[in-house]
């Protein structure tokens, strides 16, 4: 999807009000009834219709005709817009450049601040997979029947942000986190190639042990990356030093399947080095040895606990994990939902409504908008619930 930041600063304040009203309404409505949009926005009825029309023309909201009522939903574009606008208001981001990556669950863009300093914007895109298939398998949402892509994408960004911050503060080689809003993370641009693209290194053995040491260092700090592979390891162009990215799936070493995750990370590196560089070593880290070795310097602080204390709640972690598991489980028999903006014609299952208010979520939205409206000088703190 194309991002358009050119008119980020030129949306009228009434249009912004309406867009925010659609976002707020989405917290407990898959399709936000027009009447509710009018009510939340606090604007005159006639005026709102025109404003919604102009937002729909710019693909920030889309009209959905449902069996029960007509309404609108926020599109990916609308959610992107709200996040980027908030960053632009806080002066963390000013302009959007090229897309440099597209993963299954993210889009990556080059962006810049007002001085032209380059940064990377990662937009989390969970829920491109149809929820219907997943929902039938697991009741992972509890009372929240409508696991919106917005909610899951935001959780994923919040988790990545929490981990990236803690890792950066403890001098792990990760990009410097700059800002987080909704489903987006702004971070330092690393001038590097993914390991995946590298055919030759001066010393495979040295890089191998640097990476294994990193896995061990993570584990001593209570963490397992969970997706430690050639796609998520960047090799700096200048120095050849590795930088690790992509943290939404990180787990604690006290996770029930910790050893399995740990071994998978180790195996990914071993396999890659064997295939790509013909390098094999009988030396590789064992989870048990690390778990029992608590006397080391990093054994004294547990970053999994630091993260838990940072505001990203255990409950959120669980919801995200179950979602990711459910996606993995149903991979293969899941229909791809090409564009989350479009809705399926049938109003039944996906349109299920959850009139129950989810407090966490509503608080978060209210906070998001409040922070945005009242504290334009916001200090780059994430809008975590």
Please give the Cα distance from 172 to 243 (Å, whole number): 8
The helix/strand/coil state of 124 is strand
Longest dimension (CA), the chain: 73
Residue 175 binds ligand ADP, judged by CB under 6 A: yes
Number of residues counted as binding Mg ion (CB under 5 A): 3
* Residue 35 beta carbon to ligand ADP: minimum distance, rounded to whole angstroms: 38
Tell me, residue by residue from 127 to 146, as one string, x for binding to Mg ion by CB under 5 A and - for no binding: --------------------
* Residue 246 beta carbon to ligand ADP: minimum distance, rounded to whole angstroms: 3
Instruction: Give the single-character DSSP code of 376.
Output: T
Please give the Cα distance from 110 to 114 (Å, whole number): 14
Residue 189 binds ligand ADP, judged by CB under 6 A: yes
Are 123 and 109 in contact by the 8 Å Cβ rule? The answer is yes
Closest CA relative to residue 352, chosen from 361, 363, 343: 343
Please give the Cα distance from 326 to 324 (Å, whole number): 5
Interface pick for ligand ADP out of 30, 80, 105, 265 (rule CB under 6 A): 105
For residue 243, give every residue at least 6 positions away whose Cβ sits within 8 Å of its Cβ, in sequence order, or none: 173, 174, 175, 190, 192, 233, 234, 235, 236
Residue 194 binds ligand ADP, judged by CB under 6 A: yes
* Residue 32 beta carbon to ligand ADP: minimum distance, rounded to whole angstroms: 29
The DSSP secondary structure of 84-119, one letter per residue, reads: HHHHHHTTS--EEEEEEEE-SSEEEEEEE-TT--EE
Segment holding 273, helix H or strand E: helix 258-277
Which residue's CB is nearer to ligand ADP, number 190 or number 216? 190
Residue 230 binds Mg ion, judged by CB under 5 A: no
Segment holding 163, helix H or strand E: helix 149-169
* Residue 125 beta carbon to ligand ADP: minimum distance, rounded to whole angstroms: 8
Closest CA relative to residue 80, chosen from 223, 183, 207: 183
Listed ranges 28-36, 96-104, 128-136, 342-350: which one lies at the site for ligand ADP (CB under 6 A): 96-104
Residue 75 binds Mg ion, judged by CB under 5 A: no
80 is catalytic: no
Which residue's CB is nearer to Mg ion, number 101 or number 240? 101
Residue 340 binds ligand ADP, judged by CB under 6 A: no
Catalytic residue chosen out of the listed positions 227, 265, 316, 368: 227
- According to DSSP, the residues that pair with 109 across neighbouring strands are 99, 121
Which residue's CB is nearer to Mg ion, number 234 or number 319? 234
Residue 31 binds ligand ADP, judged by CB under 6 A: no
Which residues are at the interface with ligand ADP (CB under 6 A)? 100-101, 103, 105-106, 108, 120, 122, 175, 187-190, 194, 231-232, 245-246
Which residues are at the interface with Mg ion (CB under 5 A)? 231-232, 246
Catalytic residues: 227
């Amino acid at each position: 999807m194309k991002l358009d930041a050119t008119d980020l600063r030129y949306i009228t304040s009434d249009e912004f009000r309406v867009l925010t009203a659609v976002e707020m309404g989405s917290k407990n409505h898959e399709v936000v009834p027009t009447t509710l949009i009018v009510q939340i926005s606090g604007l005159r009825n006639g005026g709102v219709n025109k404003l919604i029309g102009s937002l729909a023309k710019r693909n920030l909201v889309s009209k959905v005709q449902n069996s029960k009522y007509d309404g609108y939903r926020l599109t990916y574009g609308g959610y992107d817009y709200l996040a980027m606008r908030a960053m632009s208001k806080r002066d963390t981001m000013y302009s959007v450049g090229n897309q440099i990556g597209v993963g299954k669950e993210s889009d990556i863009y080059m962006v810049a601040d007002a001085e032209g300093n380059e940064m990377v914007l990662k937009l989390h895109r969970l829920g491109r997979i149809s929820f219907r298939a997943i929902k039938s398998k697991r009741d992972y949402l509890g009372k929240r029947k409508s696991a919106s892509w917005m909610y899951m994408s935001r959780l994923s960004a919040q988790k990545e942000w929490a981990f990236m911050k803690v890792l950066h503060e403890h001098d792990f080689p990760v990009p410097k986190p700059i800002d987080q809003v909704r489903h987006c993370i702004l971070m330092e641009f690393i001038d590097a190639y993914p390991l995946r693209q590298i055919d030759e290194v001066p010393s495979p053995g040295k890089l191998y042990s640097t990476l294994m040491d990193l896995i061990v260092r993570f584990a001593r700090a209570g963490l397992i990356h969970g997706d430690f592979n050639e796609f998520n390891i960047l090799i700096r162009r200048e120095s050849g030093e590795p930088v690790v990215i992509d943290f939404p799936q990180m787990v604690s070493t006290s996770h029930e399947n910790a050893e399995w995750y740990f071994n998978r990370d180790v195996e990914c590196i071993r396999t890659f080095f064997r295939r790509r560089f013909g390098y094999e070593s009988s030396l590789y880290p064992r989870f048990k040895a690390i778990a029992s070795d608590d006397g080391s310097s990093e054994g004294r602080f547990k970053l999994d606990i630091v993260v838990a204390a940072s505001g990203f709640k255990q409950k959120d972690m669980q919801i995200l994990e179950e979602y990711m598991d459910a996606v993995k489980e149903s991979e293969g028999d899941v229909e791809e939902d090409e564009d989350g903006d479009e809705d399926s014609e049938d109003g039944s299952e996906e349109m299920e409504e959850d009139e129950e208010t989810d407090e966490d979520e509503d608080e978060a939205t209210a906070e998001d908008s409040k922070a945005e409206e009242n504290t334009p000088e916001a200090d780059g703190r994430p809008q975590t619930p």
